[in-house]
Amino acid sequence: MCGIVGYIGHREAYPIIIKGLQRLEYRGYDSAGIALYDGSDIKLSKTKGKVVDLKDKLESEISTIGSLGIGHTRWATHGVPNDVNSHPHYSNSGDLVIIHNGIIENYDALKKELIKRGYVFKSDTDTEVLVNLIEDVKRNEDIKLGKAVQIALNQVVGAYAIAVFDKNKPNEIVVARLGSPLAIGIGEDEFFIASDASPFIEFTKNAIYLEDEEMAIVRRGKEVKIRKIKNDALVDPYVQELQLNLEQIEKGGYDHFMLKEIYEQPEAIKDTFRGRLLSKEAMVKLAGVEDNMKKFLAADRIIVVACGTSWHAGLVSEYIFEDLARIPVEVEYASEFRYRNPVITEKDIVIAISQSGETADTLAAIKLAKSRGAFVFGVCNVVGSSIARETDAGAYTHAGPEIGVASTKAFTTQITVLTLMALRLARAKGTISSSEFRHHLIELELIPDKVEEALKSDAFVQTISDIYKDATNFLYLGRGFNFPVALEGALKLKEISYIHAEGYPAAEMKHGPIALIDEQMPVVVIATKKGHYEKVVSNIQEIKSRKGKIIGIVTKGDKSVKELADHVIEVPETIECLTPLLTTIPLQLLSYHIAVMLGKNVDQPRNLAKSVTVE
Ligand code: G6P
């Protein structure tokens, strides 16, 4: 993972880089560092900890002057997070300095070779190997930095987004990408480099996104030159106009991004179906599906590949696609799928779901599926991301930037897109009547208001959070469409409060988890009116007789669960397949409040990162 930022131009680089790193902290936050060129030498400061720790240390350690610089916020892969392993890394001569996001897989062999040639290593990182390899090539062949980077990268196996500069040529930064994102912001006589556009959004709306296996020489006052790393071919830069704005990436009065994003869900869901859900015309329009309708109709099955919360959205979609469109669905962890020898045929449709569009395992699963002839459809949030580009077609979720590491609005908007797809296919296949179809559209259109209503439980959820915040274990139960919601609720709690939680299909409880239930165990049970209600009520009785503490997520007006449960949180009524969009809201709030009460870092939980670009 890791976030990288660079600047070369006419302004002071430091404020841009430090602020940029803060915006990229979602990518990793175990250590950080910055290298600046002050007009005569490189000044470098780095530390274990967050960007704010770096800021304090750096400002007391070095001068912050300079209009060229690079910075890094790390999520450790090679070497524990400490000051020495933090980036940037110098080459042995001290002439070159580099930042790197990714993994150099053959670093050990390269390192041994370099040690034989007299190189000395201070850190345990693969990155220090790369910068010395570049130095070695440059020195032996007496060539410019750009060429040396290119030759070195051709010897490297792995993934990277890098930025490197030479203190003897302080007018250029060389950048390259393979597998990890890298954007170049184009200003007036100035350039910005970053893992995504958020660090430079207030300076320019024009950006180039490097493709895999491309490198660029970013020279002060000159045009950006892009080349293919493998064959040196020049590439015409494609400058995109960014849609992002500053407001979207700030907290806007909320204490945390996670809370802001939870509250953004009514709008985000509306944005997802805007122009696609046409209830008056009784139509669903999704260009990616429409253009490939023949393939969808001929498909034997759908295989969903995803990770984390996106995988949970995929699991919800299994129920929806099968129920509405009668297409068999398999939902796969991308990390497992990519290393199996899965049976994939040309009659399979693979749907890859990813908020970031950068998850390495999902990307690899897509490549595998494509190589075996499947048609791959992407459901991504980040426009122009690697997965969005790698897939044959797709539909964006349009949720806006999601910055809190624990995914919230990405989940509900993914379910919204997948529901629209299922409805469109159901209509085309004739597996749903026109009146049912119309009814589903009307119900889906009402969801944003119902999410708004569900959010009103916030204060009550806060009270419940206070009662259970010291529990060491939680159980989450749900059935049918709400079984994946139980998994997602448990994941949210684990991620940000570090309380152990398990999600289970309610009926499976008796095959194991029931042994855990005693008076200490809070059990969150999703028991909405539609969908196996009586069966779930029986499950609740089983918990009650073992003295478990029951928190029921129920349909407004519910009476039976209220009599049995210790607490009930109401959500508005809707049709069964849409209940996950509502039941998930109190679960997000529950994990949020517990984490806040326990004093945890909600937006940047330990050991996690938002965008997992390593396998
Ligand atoms: C990380 C994030 C999760 C996310 C998962 C998949 O683990 O912390 O919130 O669900 O990656 O990410 P994606 O961007 O592919 O949805």
- pLDDT tens for 299-340 read 999 999 999 999 999 999 999 999 999 999 999 999 999 999
Instruction: Select from 134, 143, 67 the least CA-distant residue to 97.
Output: 134
386, 177 contact by CB (below 8 A): no
Ligand 1, from 29, 305, 310, 335: best to mutate by most atoms within 8 Å of Cβ? 310
For residues 419 and 289, membership in a common domain is answered with yes
Q: Residues lining ligand 1, CB < 6 A? A: 307-310, 354-356, 359, 362, 405, 407, 608, 610-612
Residue 1 clears pLDDT 80, i.e. is over it: no
Same domain, 216 and 263: no
Q: In 170-301, where does DSSP find H-type helix?
A: 257-263, 265-273, 287-290, 293-298
Do 395 and 516 lie in one domain? The reply is no
CA 609 to centroid of chain Cα atoms: 8
**Residues annotated catalytic, as ranges:** 2, 610
**374, 430, 439 from 282: Cα distances, Å:** 31, 14, 9
The whole-number pLDDT of residue 26 equals: 83
Tokens of 484: 């994946």
587: Cα separation from own chain's centroid: 20
Domain count, the chain: 3
For residue 197, the model assigns a pLDDT of 93
Ligand 1 pocket test: which of 261, 305, 309, 315 has the largest number of ligand atoms within 8 Å of its C-beta? 309
**pLDDT on residue 384:** 82
Instruction: Give 607 Cα–ligand 1 centroid separation in angstroms.
Output: 13
The pair of structure tokens assigned to 244 is 């992002």
Co-location of 233 and 297 in the same domain: no
Residue 115 resides in a domain? yes
| Minimum CA distance residue for ligand 1 atom 4 | 308
Contacts of 52 (CB under 8 A, 6+ apart): 22
Domain contains 406:
yes
Rounded average pLDDT over 389-418:
95
State residue 425's pLDDT score.
97
Edge to edge, the sheet with strand 191-194 lists 42-48, 31-37, 68-74, 3-8, 191-194, 183-186, 206-209, 239-241
Phi, psi of 329 (to 5 degrees): -130, 135
Q: CA separation (Å) from 259 to 146, 349, 401, 586, 596? A: 44, 35, 14, 12, 11
Reply yes or no on whether the pLDDT at 450 is more than 80. yes
Whose CA is closest to atom 8 on ligand 1? 610
| Residues 196 and 236 grouped into a single domain | yes
Tokens of 527: 């028991």
The answer as to whether 352 is a domain residue is yes
d(CA 332, CA 304): 6
Residue 590, pLDDT > 80, answer yes
Hey, which of 332, 496, 610, 615 would you mutate to test ligand 1's pocket, going by the most ligand atoms within 8 Å of its Cβ?
610
Q: Which atom of ligand 1 is nearest the CA belonging to 407?
A: 9
Per-residue pLDDT band at 18 (split at 50, 70, 90)? very high
Distance 332 CA to ligand 1 centre (A): 15
Distance (Å) from CA 578 to ligand 1 centroid: 22
- Asked, as a colleague might, if the bond just before 88 is cis with ω within 30 of 0, I would say yes
Residue nearest to atom 5 of ligand 1 (CA): 308
167 and 153 fall within a common domain = yes
Q: Looking at the structure, do residues 264 and 118 belong to the same domain, yes or no? A: no
**What is the structure's pLDDT at 247?**
81
Using the mean position of ligand 1's atoms as its centre, give its distance from the Cα of residue 310 in Å. 7
Task: List pLDDT tens digits, range 249-284.
Answer: 888 889 999 999 999 999 999 999 999 999 999 999
Same domain, 258 and 204: no
- Name the closest-CA residue to atom 2, ligand 1: 610
Phi then psi dihedrals of residue 471, to 5 deg: -65, 150
Where among 401, 432, 463 does a domain terminate?
A: 432
Evaluate whether residue 447 is within a structural domain.
no
Testing ligand 1's pocket by substitution, the residue of 29, 355, 363 carrying the most ligand atoms inside 8 A of its CB is 355
Ligand 1: atom nearest CA of 310 is 16
Most distant CA pair in the chain: distance in Å?
A: 81
How far apart (Å, rounded) are the C-alpha atoms in residues 615 and 101? 13
Q: What are phi and psi of 145, to 5 degrees?
A: -60, -45
Which pLDDT value is given to residue 610?
Answer: 81
Distance from residue 221's CA to the centre of ligand 1 (Å): 38
| Residue 437 within any structural domain of the chain | no
pLDDT of 613 strictly over 80 = no
Q: Are residues 237 and 256 both part of a single domain?
A: no
In eight-state DSSP terms, residue 276 is T
Q: What CATH number is associated with residue 34?
A: 3.60.20.10
Q: How far apart are CA 611 and CA 403, in angstroms?
A: 10
Compute the distance from residue 536 Cα to the ligand 1 centre, in Å: 30
368 CA to middle of ligand 1, Å? 20
List Cα–Cα distances, 492 to 38, 371, 487, 588, in angstroms: 44, 34, 9, 7
- The CATH number for 378's domain is 3.40.50.10490
Helix and strand tally (H, E) in the chain?
20, 27
**Comparing C-alpha atoms, which of 458, 504, 449, 463 is closest to residue 482?**
504
Q: What is the mean pLDDT of the chain?
A: 95
Query: Which of 258, 315, 356, 613 to probe ligand 1 with, by most ligand atoms within 8 A of CB?
Result: 356
Minimum-distance ligand 1 atom for the alpha carbon of 405: 8
First to last CA, the chain: 10
Cα–Cα distance measured from residue 2 to residue 23, given in angstroms and rounded to the nearest whole number: 12
Residue 122 lies in a domain: yes
Q: Which domain holds residue 486?
A: 454-604
Same domain, 400 and 493: no
CA distance readout (Å), 494 to 222, 412, 473, 599, 600:
49, 19, 10, 14, 12
User: Among residues 192, 219, 248, which one ends one of the domains?
Assistant: 248
User: In the beta sheet, which residues pair with residue 333?
Assistant: 306
**Coil, helix or strand for 558?**
coil
Confidence category of residue 505, pLDDT binned at 50, 70, 90: very high
Q: Which atom in ligand 1 lies closest to the alpha carbon of residue 387?
A: 15
The residue among 432, 462, 489 that closes a domain is: 432
Judge if 222 and 339 occupy the same domain: no
- Please identify, by atom number, the ligand 1 atom nearest to the C-alpha of residue 306: 15
Q: What does the block give as tokens for 224?
A: 């950006």
What does DSSP say about strands 225-228 and 158-166: parallel, antiparallel, or unpaired?
unpaired
Q: How does residue 408 score in pLDDT terms, banded at 50, 70 and 90?
A: very high
| E strand or H helix that includes residue 580 | helix 580-597
Structural domain includes residue 533: yes
Atom of ligand 1 nearest to the CA of 356: 14
Residue 141 CA to residue 88 CA, distance in Å, equals 24
Q: Which atom of ligand 1 is nearest to the CA of 382?
A: 14
| 612 within domain boundaries | no
| Percentage helix, strand, coil for the chain under 3-state DSSP, each rounded to 5 | 40, 25, 35
Q: In this predicted structure, what is the pLDDT of residue 500?
A: 97
From the number of C-beta atoms within 10 Å of its C-beta (0-12, 13-18, 19+), residue 379 rates as buried
Tell me the CA–centroid distance for residue 612 and ligand 1, in Å. 7
Structure-token pair, residue 127 = 């990155």
Residue 361 Cα to ligand 1 middle (Å): 11
**How far away, in angstroms, is 406 Cα from ligand 1 center?**
8
309 CA: nearest ligand 1 atom: 10
Residue 301 tokens, joined: 């099955």
Asked if 21 and 51 count as a contact pair (C-beta separation under 8 A), the reply is yes
Statement to judge: residues 361 and 507 lie in one domain? no
Residue nearest to ligand 1 atom 3, measured at CA: 308
Q: What are the structure tokens assigned to 204, written together?
A: 């320019």
Residues 6+ apart with CB under 8 A from 268: 397, 398, 399, 400, 409, 412, 413
